[in-house]
Amino acid sequence: MTLWDSRDAPVLRNLVDHPPEHGVLETNFRSDQPRRGLPALREVEFYRAVEILGDAGYVAWSGSEGEGGGGRYYFDFQVTGEGKRVMGLWPRLDALASPEELAAVLEALAKRAPTEERSALEGSADLTRRTVPGLLRSALSGALGALVRSQIGL
């Protein structure tokens, strides 16, 4: 079992499922006590995982502050889009194979969007379905034509 499987992924999952209240995450890098919500991990392991997850870009914060007893506070703490993607919660847009898949993602976002953004996302999904296939065919046709012309010396 890797460190990712035993420590970092469970911490990231916990942070996704239970975001810190008011965006302030508290931990202690000197404590061997079990971490609340993650009894299999000690507080010092939780701290190390947070730092590693931050270095990887899976979590972010605007600033941190320490106290003499090893306490550490992270302000404006959040799981990033990349962190949510690695947990399987956000789509990998580079892996979308068709305009239909992109339109489905836009529709799913519209369902969760604030009212003022919902219609724009729904319109984008509709536009993607109607225009992207033709644009892709046109771009592919143009690129293939240019490749053929360059290969035969035209």
Residue 74 pLDDT > 70: yes
pTM of the model: 0.61
Give how far Cα 7 sits from Cα of 54, 79, 136, 154, Å.
14, 16, 43, 59
Count CA atoms within 13 Å of residue 121 on its CB side: 16
pLDDT value of residue 113:
76
Topology adopted by domain 3-86: Arc Repressor Mutant, subunit A (1.10.10)
Instruction: List the chain domain ranges.
Output: 3-86, 93-151
pLDDT value of residue 133:
60
Question: Which percentage of the chain shows pLDDT scores above 70?
Answer: 80
pLDDT value of residue 88:
81
Question: Which percentage of the chain shows pLDDT scores above 90?
Answer: 47
Report, as an integer, the average pLDDT of 73-85. 92
Cβ partners under 8 Å of residue 91, min gap 6 = 85, 105
Candidate from 12-21, 95-104, 138-147 with smallest mean pLDDT: 138-147
Report, as an integer, the average pLDDT of 51-66. 94
pLDDT category of residue 41 using cuts at 50, 70 and 90:
very high
